[in-house]
Amino acid sequence: MATNAYVPGAETLLDIYRRTALLKANDERIRKVITSGKIAMVYYSYRGQEVVPSALSACLRDDDQLCTIYRGIHDMLAKGFPLKELWAELAGRTTGSCKGKGGPMHLTFPPKGIMVTTGIVGSSAPIANGLGWAAQLDKSDRVAVATFGDGASNIGAIHESMNLAAVWKLPVIFVCQNNLYAEHTAYKKMTGGETIAARAAGYGMPGIRVNGNDAVEMYAAAAEAVARARAGEGPTLIEAMTFRFHGHNFGDPGEYIPKEEMAAAIANDPVPALRAKLIADGIATEIQLASIEAAIEAEIDEAVEFAVSSPWPVADDLRFDVFAEEIAR
Ligand SMILES: Cc1ncc(C[n+]2csc(CCOP(=O)(O)OP(=O)(O)O)c2C)c(N)n1
Ligand SMILES: [Mg+2]
């Protein structure tokens, strides 16, 4: 499926790396902040899956719309969620993107097309269909992306959505981030058929399995799917193979993952691998990348400080942002 038209150039690869570095640093900081007791929150680490949304987002515009899941802060940050509003929302403060009412599992930032985070497994796809349908009705060439996991790909709503999207040629990209585990259950134990991608054939849409940890492969698949959707040619299913380096949620030691499997995944950490490729290919120097990473750390420092020094909501705030027509304060 990948053709030369979709091979990322040097600038694009550097852009993808910048996003992966931000995602990695942000995950590390969230885990550190929770451990220190500075902010309490539920957290689903995406560490190990950074390249998937970074390469995908390099193909998207701000008006393209994203529906993601509880393990989706990487998807949102890659698409441009501003760090201060993100951290303030994680901390439940009024300066957060949802005024502290959404928290880590219900993040949104519509100005960047980040429409919804859902904790209901499988529900990102029907919502993306609705957004895709709206784009079609608006005669806009914007696209909608639904990201979900390997476990979610066995949920009925995902299949109903893929069928309808294919029938109506909706501009939707279904991105299954196959990290080989759904909560505590291994992919092989819960999945009929070899690949998720093969299921696309049953709905008459292209389906492709890629190494989601490889920026070039992931970018090529995403760019082609986005181009098809923009051209009115309908949806694509991308199964991006990846791995999560931590348990299902913060506090889960992930003991059901065989030690050798985890060690092998960590040895192939996609972020340092992309970093090394950029240096080896002469796209960036060590000094340049180190300076990008230092700037990211400083930006995160500022965002955390902004979050913890922002005010908490008050009880009366519960009455607001509930109805479309606001009642007077
Ligand atoms: C409809 C529904 N069923 C079950 C759950 C409980 N649940 C939460 S996460 C999860 C596993 C999903 O795994 P996967 O789709 O692979 O995503 P990952 O967590 O690996 O990113 C389950 C079963 C839920 N939240 N919603
Ligand atoms: Mg999974």
Which atom belonging to ligand 1 lies closest to the Cα atom of 155?
Answer: 1
pLDDT at 114 over 50: yes
Name residue 211's beta-bridge partners.
241
Element (H, E) at 219: helix 215-230
- With a cut of 80, say whether residue 3 has pLDDT above it: no
305 CA to middle of ligand 1, Å? 32
**Residues 84, 85, 86, CA angle at the centre, nearest 5°?**
90
pLDDT in tens, 55-106: 999 999 999 999 999 999 999 999 999 999 999 999 999 999 999 999 999 9
pTM: 0.97
| Residue 257 structure tokens | 């993952």
Say whether 146 sits in a helix, a strand or coil: strand
- 308 and 39 Cβ atoms separated by less than 8 Å: yes
CB distance 184 to ligand 1 below 6 Å: no
Protein residues within 5 Å, CB atom, of ion ligand 2: 149-150, 179, 182
Residue 140: pLDDT band by 50, 70, 90 thresholds? very high
Cα angle, residue 70 at apex, residues 69 and 74 outer, rounded to 5°: 80
What is the C-alpha end-to-end distance of the chain, expressed in Å? 56
* Look-up of token digits 């060590």: 286
Q: Is the pLDDT of residue 155 over 80?
A: yes
Tell me, in angstroms, the distance from the centre of ligand 2 to residue 42's CA. 17
Is residue 77 lining ligand 1, measured as CB closer than 6 Å?
no
pLDDT at position 206 is 98
Q: Give 1's pLDDT tier (boundaries 50, 70, 90).
A: very low
Tell me if 240 CB under 6 Å of ligand 1: no
The pLDDT confidence band at residue 328, using thresholds 50, 70 and 90, is low
Q: Return the exposure string of 128-144: e unless at least 16 CB atoms fall within 10 Å of the residue's CB, then b.
A: bbbbbbebbeeeebbbb
**What band does 171 get if pLDDT is binned at 50, 70 and 90?**
very high
Q: CA-based Rg of the chain, rounded to a whole angstrom? A: 19
Closest ligand (CA of 178)? 2
Q: What is the CA(82)–ligand 2 centre distance, in A? A: 26
Distance CA 123, CA 145 (A): 12
Residue with tokens 């992919």: 187
Choose which residue among 49, 121, 243 to substitute to test ligand 1 binding: the one with the highest number of ligand atoms within 8 A of its C-beta.
Answer: 121
Tell whether the model's pLDDT for residue 326 goes beyond 90.
no
Instruction: Classify domain 4-307 at the CATH class level.
Output: alpha beta
Question: What confidence tens digit (pLDDT) does each residue in 207-248 have?
Answer: 999 999 999 999 999 999 999 999 999 999 999 999 999 999
Q: Is the CB of 150 under 6 A from ligand 1?
A: yes
Residue ranges of the domains in the chain?
4-307
pLDDT, tens only, 265-310: 999 999 999 999 999 999 999 999 999 999 999 999 999 999 999 9
Q: 129 vs 50, 145, 174, CA distance in Å?
A: 25, 9, 10
Burial environment of residue 185 by CB neighbours within 10 A (0 to 12, 13 to 18, 19 or more): middle
In this prediction, residues 9-16 reach a mean pLDDT of 98
User: What pLDDT was estimated at residue 5?
Assistant: 79
Residue in 160, 183, 241 to alter for ligand 1 test, most ligand atoms within 8 A of Cβ? 183
Over residues 179-199, the pLDDT tens digits come to 999 999 999 999 999 999 999
Mean pLDDT of all residues in 304-326: 91
d(CA 115, CA 81): 11
Quick one: which ligand is closest to 69's CA? 1
Dist. CA 184 → ligand 2 center (Å): 9
**Nearest protein Cα to ligand 1, atom 3:** 121
The pLDDT mean for the chain works out to 96
Query: Which DSSP category does 310 fall into?
Result: S
Ligand 1 proximity of 149 Cβ (cutoff 6 Å): yes
